[in-house]
Amino acid sequence: MPVTEIAHITLRDSSLPLELFASAARKALPIQDGWFEKNSTTANLQPTASSAEERGAAFFQQTQDPRKILITAHWASVEQHHTWIASAENKSAFGSLLDFIDLTDIDYFHVADVEAFSPSLLRDVHNVEGVSGSLLRIRRFVVAKEDKGFFEELAKSHLATSDGERRGGWRIEEDPEQPEDRAQFVIVDSCGQGQGEEEEEADIANATLGTSGGAASDLAKVILNASTRHYQRLC
């Protein structure tokens, strides 16, 4: 089952030039590519694309809190990701980033059965220096576990692109900030630079998701909590 990694790290010193971190991050991705080329068909790992863009591997900076850095990638399974984390290549690739980050403020999880960061999406979102283009948007919706199927049915028109690519899935690991009887659905897409957080939060609070009438009302009853975050691509 493919999974998508959603990892957040926090920059230790916001006064440091962002380009220093971005430069180190750009050097890390080819090392990860090399690991995939060597290991993706061995050690019981499924064959996986080796180029960073094909693997959904990228770094982003959050616009709401610029100290927050998002790291993404697609994996054949959670176990494959854990194998990478334990590898010498990971220590080499990401060890150079440790000087920049707060090691007490790291959070990551996996989204089930989806490769959310398609090459077309990654090309759509602009780099930090871009003056126009799109932002990456990650929306999280919390529902009671017993309502998971109901939520997917109501929101199904928003869970895939026009090309049929699935862009959302359920968080695998429990969210420590939520009760055990809750589940979190994550949707990854892009939006225009001019769409502000307040506008989107209001839309989500009403649980419309672009729906109307009875469907919007039903979603509003099912969604217990929701949040939206925006990101600019670093590399």
Q: Which of 60, 67, 69, 35 is nearest to 49 (CA)?
A: 35
pLDDT digits (tens, 9 = 90+) for 150-170: 999 888 777 777 677 788 999
Cβ atoms of 97 and 24 within 8 Å: the answer is: yes
Whether 103 and 33 map to the same domain: the answer is: yes
> Does residue 126 form part of some domain?
no
pLDDT for the residue 162: 66
What is the pLDDT, as a whole number, of residue 207? 46
pLDDT in the model for residue 129: 59
Q: In whole angstroms, give the CA distance from residue 231 to residue 97.
A: 19
Same domain assignment for residues 8 and 109: yes
Q: What integer pLDDT is reported at residue 167 of this predicted model?
A: 86
Low-confidence ranges of the chain (pLDDT < 70): 41-49, 127-133, 162, 194-215
Q: What is the pLDDT of residue 212?
A: 58
Count: domains in the chain = 2
> Which residues lie across from 192 on neighbouring strands?
134
Residues 161 and 198 in one domain: yes
pLDDT for the residue numbered 46: 63
CATH number at residue 73: 3.30.70.100
Q: 217 lies in which domain range?
A: 134-233
Gap between the Cα atoms of 179 and 185, Å rounded: 15
**What CATH number does residue 195 fall under?**
3.30.70
SS (H, E, C) 62-103: ECCCCCEEEEEEEECCHHHHHHHHCCHHHHHHHHCCHHHECC
User: How far is Cα 159 from Cα 169, in angstroms, rounded to an integer?
Assistant: 8
| Beta bridge partners of residue 126, listed in sequence order | none
Note the pLDDT of residue 132: 58
The per-residue pLDDT for 15 is 83
Is the separation of the CB atoms in 182 and 143 below 8 Å?
yes
* pTM, entire model: 0.90
Residue with tokens 């999974």: 3
